[in-house]
């Protein structure tokens, strides 16, 4: 279940878990960290005690936490059988806005460096395509990776540019995702069709976060974490620290 902030993902996931005896899996990359509570709108302790969420409060923010770390938590939770042998299979409900987590579990993942990116190189290739057509790109790709070039002869210009970008950077454009989820699944996207209403809901949420002590939480975390900790740059925490330092107004 994906969608922008403040669109009701948590409430819907709890309703589904109650209806289907579901297993809830956190897909928010900041909520995995202990102590990051107010800014991530973690559910209260009583709710989490009743409906545990796999992937919440699993690590301190002073160390790395990768997609592969998260998959080690999410895969067992998603495949956990129903305790009642006569009941239907347990419904796993992944909820949160980190698309990488959703994709990594459901569609599989790529090893680092397999399909590298370079925005500057891509821009150069797109300019070459626009000024000289695709022939120079086809020729260059054929010199680097003939097998891939043969598959790109009838591909769209966009796919050709991407394949050549990968080849120039030493990657493999034919690489396939590893370990995709094989059981039936569905993507559910939630949004608010009224932008004005959505902004009002977000503003209300932010006010409540301030009242609950968002700035104090950010300051306390910054005091015990190394400078430059990535989680402290998250939305809400970065602004809370700047407000504490009098760089910005409330």
What's the 3-state SS for 5-39? CCCCHHHHHHHHHHHHCCEEEECCCCCCECCCCCC
Per-residue confidence (pLDDT) for residue 208, from 0 to 100: 96
Per-residue confidence (pLDDT) for residue 73, from 0 to 100: 95
Angle at 229 between CA 39 and CA 109, to 5 degrees: 85
* Alpha helices, DSSP H, located in 93-186: 99-106, 119-132, 135-144, 146-151, 157-168
> Mean pLDDT in runs of 10 for the chain (250 residues)?
92 93 93 96 93 94 89 91 64 91 86 74 93 94 93 90 91 78 88 95 96 97 94 94 95
First-to-last C-alpha distance (Å) of the chain: 32
Per-residue confidence (pLDDT) for residue 83, from 0 to 100: 63
Per-residue confidence (pLDDT) for residue 87, from 0 to 100: 59
State the Cα–Cα distance between residues 20 and 2, nearest whole angstrom. 19
State the Cα–Cα distance between residues 233 and 220, nearest whole angstrom. 14
Per-residue confidence (pLDDT) for residue 88, from 0 to 100: 63
pTM: 0.73
State the Cα–Cα distance between residues 191 and 74, nearest whole angstrom. 24
């Amino acid at each position: 279940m994906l969608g922008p902030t403040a669109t009701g993902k948590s409430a819907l996931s709890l309703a589904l878990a109650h209806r289907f005896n579901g297993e809830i899996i956190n897909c928010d990359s900041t909520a995995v960290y202990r102590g990051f509570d107010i800014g991530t709108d973690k559910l209260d302790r009583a709710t989490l005690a009743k409906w545990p969420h796999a992937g919440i409060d699993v690590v301190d923010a002073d160390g790395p936490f990768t997609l592969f770390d998260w998959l080690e938590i999410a895969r067992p939770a998603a495949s956990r059988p129903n305790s009642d042998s006569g009941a239907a299979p347990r419904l796993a409900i992944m909820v949160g806005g980190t698309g990488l987590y959703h994709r990594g579990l459901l569609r599989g993942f790529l090893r680092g460096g397999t399909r590298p990116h370079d925005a500057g190189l891509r821009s150069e290739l797109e300019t070459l395509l626009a000024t000289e057509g695709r022939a120079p790109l086809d020729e260059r790709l054929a010199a680097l990776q003939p097998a891939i070039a043969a598959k790109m002869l009838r591909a769209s210009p966009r796919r050709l540019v991407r394949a050549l970008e990968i080849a120039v950077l030493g990657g493999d454009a034919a690489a396939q995702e590893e370990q995709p989820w094989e059981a039936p699944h569905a993507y559910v996207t939630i949004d608010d069709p009224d932008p004005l209403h959505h902004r009002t809901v977000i503003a209300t949420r932010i006010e409540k976060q301030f009242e609950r002590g968002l700035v104090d939480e950010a300051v306390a975390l910054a005091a015990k974490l190394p400078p430059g900790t990535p989680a402290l740059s998250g939305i809400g925490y970065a602004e809370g620290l700047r407000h504490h330092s009098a760089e910005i107004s409330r």
